Chain A
Amino acid sequence: MKTSKTVRCMSFLFMFILLFLTTGCADNYIVLDPKGPIGEQQKDLMILSTLLTLIVIVPVLILTFVIVWRYRDREGRKAKYTPNWEHSTKLEIIWWGIPIIIITLIGIVTVRYTYSLEPSKPLESEKKPITIQVTNLDWKWLFQYPEQGIATVNYVQFPEDTPVRFEVTSDAPMNSFWIPQLGGQIYAMSGMSMTLYLQADEQGEYMGSGANFTGKEFAKMFFTANATSQEDFDQWVNQVKNTSPALTLDGYKELTKQGTSDVRYFSAFPEGLYEMTVTKYAASHNHGLSTRVQPPARVKE
């Protein structure tokens, strides 16, 4: 009697978990609610790999419950008992085989996507990509727009439907730059400039954060990524240009000091500031992903 109670409790628990995973407000699952092509493909890949693994997992879970239930020791049971049965080549081939097949499938999918989603690979688009240079500071994000000549802190705006080429570096301990709804993150590291292409297909304000721990107030490194129409973007750039102070070299040094920051706008920044930040740490290095090496963009004519 006791054993059956155990099994009943187990199956109850399992159903409870399933219930738990399937309820809740769907809007909150921002990783599964992407608004750009990169996030979209990553979501597809997450779902595909989940389904493939479920092919193995679900039968195993069912098998577990069936076996535990059927072969529990109790009075007058009819199930077979074979205490010395310890080998079956056929069965062994089956369960070495099935995982090998599933893993091969996931492996093939993964390798293909690893190449096609390589973060420094330009996105196919009719529009020319916009470049935004991101610097991780203690404990704030600095965004520079080399083409527009403006800079911001803890706020980034860009036009929708346009590939954004984020160049990411760090002037502090390494962090990771992440806008979940647009696509995966990339590390911000001193002495190298990493490239991450993202794009927003819809207008909207998206949450961005620092995903790698950098010390005391790292939890305050949230920022807003705002995708707007091209006109709104141009207007915003003009507004920043006309109404905000310029970022000077001293002002930058001030920013690098430890501390959190509100959203700030700058109408200009020192020429080559980003390159200076990268090279001051990279005097003796030349990483493959440095800004100087620009892969040819696949812009459709």
Chain B
Amino acid sequence: MWESVKEFASEFFVTGDPLIYGADVSIVLSIIAIVSVLTYFKKWGWLWREWLTTVDHKKIGIMYILASVLMLFRGGVDALLMRAQLVMPEMQFLSGDHYNQIFTTHGVIMILFMAMPLMFGLFNVIVPLQLGARDVAFPFLNALSFWLFFSGAMLFNLSFVIGGSPDAGWLAYPPYSELAFNPGPGQDFYIWGIQISGIGSLMTGINFIVTILKVRAPGMTLMKMPMFSWSVLSSCIAIVFAFPILTVTLALLFIDRYLGGHFFTLDGGGNPMMYINLIWMWGHPEVYIIVLPAFGIFSEIVATFSRKKLFGYKSMVFAMIIISVLSFLVWAHHFFTMGSGADVNAFFAVTTMLIAIPTGVKVFNWLFTMFRGKITFETPMLWTVGIIPNFVIGGMTGVLLSVAPADFQYHNSYFLIAHFHQVIIAGVVFGFFAGLYYWWPKIFGFKLNERIGRWAFWLWNIGFYLCFMPQYALGLMGMTRRIYTYGWDKGWFEMNLVSTIGAVIMGAAFLVQIWDIAHSIKHMKRDTTGDPWNARTLEWSIPSPAPFYNFAVMPQVTSQDDWHERKLRIEQGLEKPAKVALEPIHMPKNSGIPIVMSMFWFFVGFGLIFDWLWMAVPGFIGVIACMVVHSFNYDTDYYVTVEEIKRTEAEAGRVIT
């Protein structure tokens, strides 16, 4: 009996690596710490009522952001481990297997479990406020989306200590990801982790399309909508078209692995090429899905801190829509060197280049928003200005890569690695950072420390250039991606050393940001204005943090940048704060079903990964049961009384009569 337990445990848990034992210990310790703190302060009930069952879009957004920062930490540690292994030739720090697992999890986590939730977090906290709405269109679905993302992410992260991590790269190309070459549970963790969180992403996409199209404040026509909301709309349209492809692709791969299908294996009549086409039909739009909202963020920030109306609003909207459509027509540029022939390569090369046009136009429009403005450099603006040269260089190398015959030399080399990190870190991550610094006071009610924020900005940027500029050079020196070791004879040592130093600086920058947050909480100065940046859009017209019902009185929108215009009118004495009659507000009730249902999904995934039907089948029954229970739940909403609105507004320092 004992022997069989031991045998099971040695297969079930990942063993033999001191790094992983260290992680095991710290995971157990932090779980013990969290549980005891919650128990000691008697916070379990509070946690359940206020957070775990919430349908409030602002709280869901905060949970997304929190989860994504944790994932940024994990993905960042992965990155540092990789850079440590590559710092010099013939390094013996990580084995080939371990290195492969680390770059795979790094890629998956950074794109799907860091960038996506950070983006969804900002969608959630800001979009309804910008639109002058009380909540998203489907609050229950929104909570379910979050918990599905969360359980998918936890499932994926578990692979690191249980069963073993996937090692086939972030897109898991067959045949290497098929059972014949990759028999362990790692690849199934990949499939189910992404699959479960992917359902959540798709639902978020639908939810925000409907929110933006249907629940805007009265008077806000589409062409008066803030640019960030426009960018969310274009990104969500891409989500709705792209994510079903991912779901089907992963399902087919799972059928191959679990039921002996042959969709992507050559024996039995399948074809790996089909997978590669499918995964990039999702994968390419995916990078535009995450970058479009960042464009929206830059547009908001540039206008606010230049004290000027956004230049070329219509052309910005048009450019974003073109980008989201074109993003679906370029996927084959990821495999110019797979023998598609000159016709196909020429087509995809040209469509890829076309994307540079609308993207370039956006950069010009940001520049001309600053032109004849009064630019101040608070942290959000500092990030935005810093991003422009960075993103422009990244975009330029993108055009270089799209030149198909030249891509035969760039493909799979470090040149490519440098390019996509430059657009994704400089464009997406820095963009979301800018958004976080900008909206932080709206989310939490206080500003982050400007001085420490500047430190973080400079460290991130210097670290970035030191880390990735040498990688362009390494690509031209013939260094290919994903190798875990190289010889002294290659001449790659110096550049790799510099690159690793840069990565360490970025790691330090992350810690400075965490310090910034801790420091700002400790020396918190409450923002009483609700509008600390003197901004232009509706979310700044209400107290910070926003009350749970957002707007005590629904705003009536008459122009673009409505809040800015209203402030001007009040200043000029053209408009006086009108007396309004408060009315009871219709709000959704909290629900425990999303978290419970997602836990059942977790069991389904975990059971199928280990082929434990005794766990998967009840898990699936649980999922169905949750749906049935919810469909019979007629008690889903309530009204906030006028007294409570008055009380809440008074606490936030506003008196409404």
- Chain A residues at the B interface, C-beta cutoff of 8 Å: 2-3, 6, 9-10, 13-14, 16-17, 20-21, 24-25, 27-32, 39, 41-42, 45-46, 49-50, 53-54, 56-57, 60-61, 63-64, 67-68, 71-73, 79-88, 91-92, 95-96, 99-100, 103, 106-107, 109-111, 113-115, 117-120, 172-174, 176, 178, 180, 183-187, 189-192, 194, 207, 209-220, 222, 281-282, 284-285, 287-289
Contact = CB atoms under 8 A, between A and B. Distances in A.
B377 A6 contact: yes
Contacts of A46: 400, 403, 406, 409
Contacts of B339: 119-120, 186-187, 189, 192, 194, 287, 289
B125 interface: no
A64 B311 CA distance: 15
A63 B272 contact: no
Interface residues of B, number: 100
Given A57-B393, A219-B486, A184 B405 contact: yes
A3 B377 contact: yes
A42 B408 contact: yes
B312 A87 contact: yes
A61 B405 contact: no
A285 B169 CA distance: 27
26 contacts: A9-B458, A16-B465, A24-B495, A30-B476, A46-B409, A49-B403, A56-B396, A57-B396, A60-B367, A73-B307, A82-B372, A85-B309, A103-B354, A110-B350, A110-B403, A114-B345, A115-B346, A118-B341, A174-B173, A185-B408, A189-B339, A207-B490, A213-B169, A213-B176, A216-B97, A217-B96
B312 A219 contact: no
B386 to A, nearest CB: 7
A42 B360 contact: no
Contact of A73 (B96, B375, B458, B461): B375
Contacts of B472: 21
B96 A114 contact: no
B361 A57 contact: no
- The 4 A-B residue pairs with the shortest CB-CB distance in the complex, in nearest-first order: A184-B408, A219-B483, A173-B176, A95-B364
Contacts of A110: 346, 349-350, 353, 402-405
A189 B338 contact: yes
Contacts of B407: 184
B176 A68 contact: no
Contacts of B386: 10
A117 B405 contact: yes
B585 interface: no
A103 B353 contact: yes
B409 A114 contact: no
B458 to A, nearest CB: 7
A219 B477 contact: no
Nearest to A138: B181
Contacts of A49: 399-400, 403, 406
Contacts of B411: 176, 184-185, 211
A81 B350 contact: no
A20 B361 CA distance: 29
Given A45-B405, A60-B363, A64-B367, A288 B399 contact: no
B371 interface: yes
B481 interface: yes
Contacts, number: 286
A71 B396 CA distance: 26
Contacts of A45: 403, 405-406
Contacts of B396: 53-54, 56-57
A190 B341 contact: no
Interface stretch (B38-46, B263-271, B588-596, B609-617): B263-271
A107 B350 contact: yes
B100 A53 contact: no
Contacts of B145: none
B342 interface: yes
B626 interface: no
A183 B234 CA distance: 40
Contacts of B412: 176, 178, 185, 211-212
A73 B411 CA distance: 45
A185 B312 CA distance: 43
Indicate the member of B385, B470, B490 with the most A CB atoms within 10 Å: B385
B477 A31 contact: yes
B356 interface: yes
B375 A215 contact: no
A178 B480 contact: yes
Contacts of A63: 367
A166 to B, nearest CB: 12
A25 B491 contact: yes
B408 A183 contact: yes
A96 B357 contact: yes
Interface of B: 96-97, 100, 167-169, 173, 175-176, 181, 266-267, 269, 271-273, 306-315, 335, 337-339, 341-342, 345-346, 349-350, 353-354, 356-357, 360-361, 363-364, 367-368, 370-377, 382, 385-386, 388-389, 392-393, 396, 399-400, 402-409, 411-413, 458, 461-462, 465, 469-470, 472-473, 475-478, 480-487, 490-492, 494-495
Contacts of A288: 341
A218 B482 contact: yes
Contacts of A176: 337, 411-412
A30 to B, nearest CB: 5
A169 B580 CA distance: 76
Contact of A106 (B176, B353, B409, B461): B353
A210 B480 contact: yes
B335 to A, nearest CB: 7
B405 A3 contact: no
A25 B492 CA distance: 11
A84 B309 contact: yes
A72 B370 CA distance: 9
Contact of B477 (A28, A57, A86, A217): A28
A82 B307 CA distance: 9
A106 B393 CA distance: 17
A39 B410 CA distance: 12
Contacts of B306: 71
B368 A215 contact: no
B353 A21 contact: no
A211 B414 CA distance: 10
A31 B372 contact: no
B450 to A, nearest CB: 10
Indicate the member of B412, B482, B494 with the most A CB atoms within 10 Å: B412
A235 B215 CA distance: 80
Contacts of A210: 480
A244 to B, nearest CB: 26
A281 B266 contact: yes
A31 B307 contact: no
A184 B477 contact: no
B308 A82 contact: yes
A73 B312 CA distance: 22
Contacts of A103: 353-354, 356-357, 399
Contacts of B167: 215
A215 B411 CA distance: 18
B374 A216 contact: no
B278 to A, nearest CB: 16
B322 to A, nearest CB: 11
Nearest to A116: B405
Contact of A180 (B364, B382, B478, B486): B478
B312 A86 contact: yes
B389 A64 contact: yes
A133 to B, nearest CB: 16
A96 B358 CA distance: 8
Nearest to B415: A31
Nearest to B461: A13
